[in-house]
Amino acid sequence: MRQGLKVSVAVPVGNAGPATDSFDACVRSLLELPPDEYEVIFADDGSTDGTRKRLDALAATRSNVRVLHLERTGNPAHGRNAALSVALGEFVFLMNAHDRLEPGSLQRLFERAKETEADVLVGRLAGDGPPAAAFTRDRDRADLLRDRLLTAVTAHKLFRREFIETHQLRFADRALSEQAFVLRAYLSAKVIAVAAGHVVCHLAHGAPGAEPEPGDWDLVAGLSAIMDIVEAQTEPGVQRDRIAAHFFRSVALRRLGPPFLGLTPERQELLYGHLKAITATRFPGSLDTHLPVHLRARAALLRTGDAKGIADLARAAQGTRLGAELGDLRWAGHVLSLTLTAELLAPDGSPMVFAAEGDRVWWVPPSRVDRLDPALREVTEAAGEVRMEVYVRHSETGEMHFLPVTGDVERLPVEGGVRLRASGEARFDVGTAAFGRPLDPGVWEVHVRMRGVNPARTRVVRPDHGVTSAGMMAEYPRRLVVPCWSDKGELSVCVEPRSFAESIALVSQAATVSAHEGAVFVSVPVPYVPPNGGPAAELVLRRVGGRTVVAPALIEPGEPGRFAGQLIAKLPGGRGGLTRGLWRPKLRMDGSLVDLRFAVETQRGKAVVRTLETPRPPTRWKRLVASVKRRYGMI
């Protein structure tokens, strides 16, 4: 091993493209590593698009970059194995060619691995999905099941190289090789540690070079290989059953949900047959108590050979979802408080009802699938564990953090049983939400997840009642924080808007407009008005396909954290002003123009606000054409 070499980063590459943004970002993040402490190994999978020449040119100028020229396989497992065979660092970190390292992350991981004497160090990742349950806190000695490490089975981890060689860990040339490699590592390691406090790597899902989606038979072969590992490295008992149930749920039963209905009948029959065969040999019915109740029904139908029942259950499950309602949004000092309720909803949008007798609770299966053993339908224990979680996700980087939530679960008696509704209050403190550190600037989406009977997640949508558009200058550090809504009406919180004008644009969907005595008055909320009143402002409206009207805007302050200020502009109507039509507004401040998130429609002395996601009503001509088409059966 080269003296002082801390980490070897192994990156399989295959036809990454001459100048793709994500691959460029990956390379830039790797070139920031100190060359005397880190090496980068690109394993090129027979690229034919110029990637190989580009990597060779990079290696010629960077002493810590190596390129392995491999035969084309189309599978990143081959490149990962080649890189592991030549790595020289004390540790190895695995990532894909379109992922991006967070600056300073490997140094933090290396220090933490040395401190904990870890064989495997699991670091926080940022991507499109919900945050893995393993990353609620740091752990020096993590437990596979208690700390839910099976929710983090991608290869993006720090592995002690000596540990890899001792146990001859390699990626198999088959489906699910990544999960199999990580599972073997988890079960072989003396020490697994978790570093949850900082994002290590930003994942690029669906990019070229990722492990391909397996076919039906390949999937079954990969799942069988995983079960071989489970049975070879665990003793019969609860641990083995819970690990087996996890892969049964996440790999096999997942394929039989609503997406199953999108397959051709031939493909449905083939997939069902493969999964039925492996279930009969590798997944006994004793595992089903470790499954969520709706998957117990799927498993029972799979074992009894009821292919029609599987399709009926998938059809009945379409539309089942989590609903989250925002009761209140208010500032408590510099902390934003969100009062929320969450409840599982049936496909028709009504609350899901469970059968109940005393303290016992049962899932009520769809009428087309009512043959499930009552013992497997009981969810009393799971109902007692129902809880609501709230997390925020950065809209650009994908970084996620849980918010502290206090609350309870209510059992609401209704005709035929009970409803299970979680309620609570989440606290959004911009100064501490990132594991005690301030959140980065940007827009943070608010998500709700409910655990227990049927795990599900959703976004928080705008309620019918009014909520505050007021922002607040949060402390530690002092930055503006603005609650806002997406074009789909989903709640986000913007930390440190880039300008005063942008802070107004974030909440401009709540604008109002009125016509009076030949003029049009536009009022836009202002979440926070600085003590000096802010720069001079103009409202610029351009008619779609037409001319532009400009008017000065007056800004009236509100009260920080309680009610928003107002930006008010008076625009002339009629000839020379806002004539009939649809007008798109911009805000001019400090010499720049910012788009506002609404439109103004004027007609016959009236003016209305239209949000950008609301379709414009059909014109009289379009209504006439539609009427004719209906009359003659054309629509």
Give the per-residue SS3 of 232-278.
Answer: HHCCCCHHHHHHHHHHHHHHHHHHHCHHHHHCCHHHHHHHHHHHHHH
Question: In this structure, is residue 138 part of a structural domain?
Answer: yes
Q: How many residues does the chain have?
A: 635
Question: In this structure, is residue 576 part of a structural domain?
Answer: yes
Q: How far apart are CA 76 and CA 155, in angstroms?
A: 11
What is the CATH number for 576? 2.60.40
The 10 Å Cβ neighbour count of residue 590 is 12
Confidence of residue 128 (pLDDT cuts 50, 70, 90): low
Q: How far apart are CA 286 and CA 249, in angstroms?
A: 14
Considering the domain architecture, whether residues 290 and 154 belong to the same structural domain is answered as no
Instruction: Please give the structure tokens belonging to residue 516.
Output: 């009076």
Percentage of the chain beyond pLDDT 90 is 57
Long-range CB contacts for residues 410-418, cutoff 8 Å, separation at least 24: 411/356, 411/361, 411/383, 413/356, 414/351, 414/353, 416/353, 416/355, 416/364, 417/353, 417/354, 417/355, 417/356, 417/361, 417/364, 418/353, 418/354, 418/356, 418/361
pLDDT at residue 406 tops 80: yes
Among 370-374, 461-465, 486-490, which range has the highest average pLDDT? 486-490
Q: Which residues, 6 or more positions from 339, have their beta carbon under 8 angstroms from its beta carbon?
A: 326, 327, 328, 329, 423, 424, 425
pLDDT of residue 307: 84
Considering the domain architecture, whether residues 296 and 332 belong to the same structural domain is answered as no
Tokens 């959140």, residue located: 439
CA-to-CA dists, residue 283 to 145, 225, 231, 245, angstroms: 19, 13, 12, 8
pLDDT of residue 369: 61
pLDDT at residue 622 tops 60: no
Tokens 């990544």, residue located: 178
The CA-based angle 295-126-452, given to 5 degrees, is 30
Task: Look at residues 261, 183, 255, 180 and name the one whose alpha carbon lies nearest to residue 223.
Answer: 180
Instruction: Please give the structure tokens belonging to residue 112.
Output: 């933490």
- Please compute the mean of the pLDDT values over residues 51-55 and round it to a whole number: 89
pLDDT at residue 373 tops 90: no
Question: In this structure, is residue 358 part of a structural domain?
Answer: yes
pLDDT of residue 210: 53
| SS3 of residue 57 by DSSP | helix
Considering the domain architecture, whether residues 250 and 271 belong to the same structural domain is answered as yes
Q: What would the pLDDT profile of 553-568 be if each residue is shown by its tens digit?
A: 999 998 888 888 999 9
Considering the domain architecture, whether residues 31 and 128 belong to the same structural domain is answered as yes
Among 186-190, 204-208, 272-276, 458-462, which range has the highest average pLDDT? 186-190
Q: What is the dihedral of CA 117, 115, 200, 482, to 10 degrees?
A: 140
Instruction: Please give the structure tokens belonging to residue 119.
Output: 């064989």
Handedness of CA 344, 347, 349, 355 (dihedral sign): negative
Q: What would the pLDDT profile of 423-453 be if each residue is shown by its tens digit?
A: 999 999 999 999 889 999 999 999 999 988 8
Q: How far apart are CA 351 and CA 275, in angstroms?
A: 32
Considering the domain architecture, whether residues 173 and 290 belong to the same structural domain is answered as no
What is the CATH number for 156? 3.90.550.10
pLDDT of residue 205: 66
pLDDT at residue 479 tops 60: yes
The CA-based angle 626-630-631, given to 5 degrees, is 115
Considering the domain architecture, whether residues 331 and 479 belong to the same structural domain is answered as yes
Considering the domain architecture, whether residues 410 and 442 belong to the same structural domain is answered as yes
Question: In this structure, is residue 236 part of a structural domain?
Answer: yes
Residues 529/555, Cβ–Cβ less than 8 Å: yes
Considering the domain architecture, whether residues 66 and 105 belong to the same structural domain is answered as yes
Considering the domain architecture, whether residues 382 and 466 belong to the same structural domain is answered as yes
What letters, b where the CB count within 10 A reaches 16 and e where it falls short, cover 613-635? eeeeeeeeeeeeeeeeeeeeeee
Domain count, the chain: 4
Q: How far apart are CA 139 and CA 134, in angstroms?
A: 9
Where do runs of H (alpha helix) occur along 248-352?
265-282, 293-303, 307-317
Question: In this structure, is residue 588 part of a structural domain?
Answer: yes
The phi, psi pair for 449, rounded to 5°, reads -130, 135
pLDDT at residue 634 tops 50: no
The strands making up 7-13's β-sheet, listed across from edge to edge, are 65-70, 38-45, 7-13, 91-94, 158-160, 120-126, 192-202, 100-101
Strand partners, 158: 93, 121
pLDDT at residue 371 tops 70: no
Q: Which of 442, 474, 495 is the last residue of a domain?
A: 495
Considering the domain architecture, whether residues 542 and 426 belong to the same structural domain is answered as no
- Please compute the mean of the pLDDT values over residues 621-635 and round it to a whole number: 42
Confidence of residue 6 (pLDDT cuts 50, 70, 90): very high
pLDDT of residue 633: 42
- Please compute the mean of the pLDDT values over residues 28-57 and round it to a whole number: 92
Question: In this structure, is residue 618 part of a structural domain?
Answer: no
Which residue segment(s) compose the domain that 226 sits in? 216-317
Instruction: Please give the structure tokens belonging to residue 334.
Output: 């510099």
Question: In this predicted model, which residue has the larger pLDDT, 111 or 470?
Answer: 111
The CA-based angle 105-109-114, given to 5 degrees, is 150
Confidence of residue 368 (pLDDT cuts 50, 70, 90): low
Q: What would the pLDDT profile of 480-518 be if each residue is shown by its tens digit?
A: 999 999 888 899 999 999 999 999 999 998 899 988 878
Question: For the chain, what is the mean pLDDT?
Answer: 87
- Please compute the mean of the pLDDT values over residues 12-16 and round it to a whole number: 87
Where do runs of H (alpha helix) occur along 12-66?
21-31, 51-61
pLDDT of residue 610: 82
Question: In this structure, is residue 577 part of a structural domain?
Answer: yes
Q: How far apart are CA 176 and CA 428, in angstroms?
A: 38
Q: How far apart are CA 142 and CA 205, in angstroms?
A: 27
- Read off the amino acid at residue 602: T
pLDDT at residue 224 tops 70: yes
Confidence of residue 214 (pLDDT cuts 50, 70, 90): low
Instruction: Please give the structure tokens belonging to residue 211.
Output: 């492990």
- Read off the amino acid at residue 312: D
Considering the domain architecture, whether residues 352 and 268 belong to the same structural domain is answered as no
Instruction: Please give the structure tokens belonging to residue 151.
Output: 């929710």
Residues 612/487, Cβ–Cβ less than 8 Å: yes
pLDDT of residue 169: 97
Residues 129/206, Cβ–Cβ less than 8 Å: no
pLDDT at residue 464 tops 90: no
Confidence of residue 20 (pLDDT cuts 50, 70, 90): low
Question: In this structure, is residue 109 part of a structural domain?
Answer: yes
Q: How far apart are CA 186 and CA 586, in angstroms?
A: 55
Confidence of residue 305 (pLDDT cuts 50, 70, 90): confident
The phi, psi pair for 435, rounded to 5°, reads 55, 50
Q: Which residues, 6 or more positions from 168, have their beta carbon under 8 angstroms from its beta carbon?
A: none
Is the peptide bond between 477 and the residue preceding it cis, with omega within 30 degrees of 0?
Answer: yes
pLDDT of residue 619: 44
pLDDT of residue 237: 95
Q: What would the pLDDT profile of 141-186 be if each residue is shown by its tens digit?
A: 999 999 999 999 999 999 999 999 999 999 999 999 999 999 999 9
Task: Look at residues 196, 180, 198 and name the one whose alpha carbon lies nearest to residue 188.
Answer: 180
Considering the domain architecture, whether residues 35 and 124 belong to the same structural domain is answered as yes
Q: Which of 495, 523, 548 is the last residue of a domain?
A: 495
Q: Which of 451, 476, 495 is the last residue of a domain?
A: 495
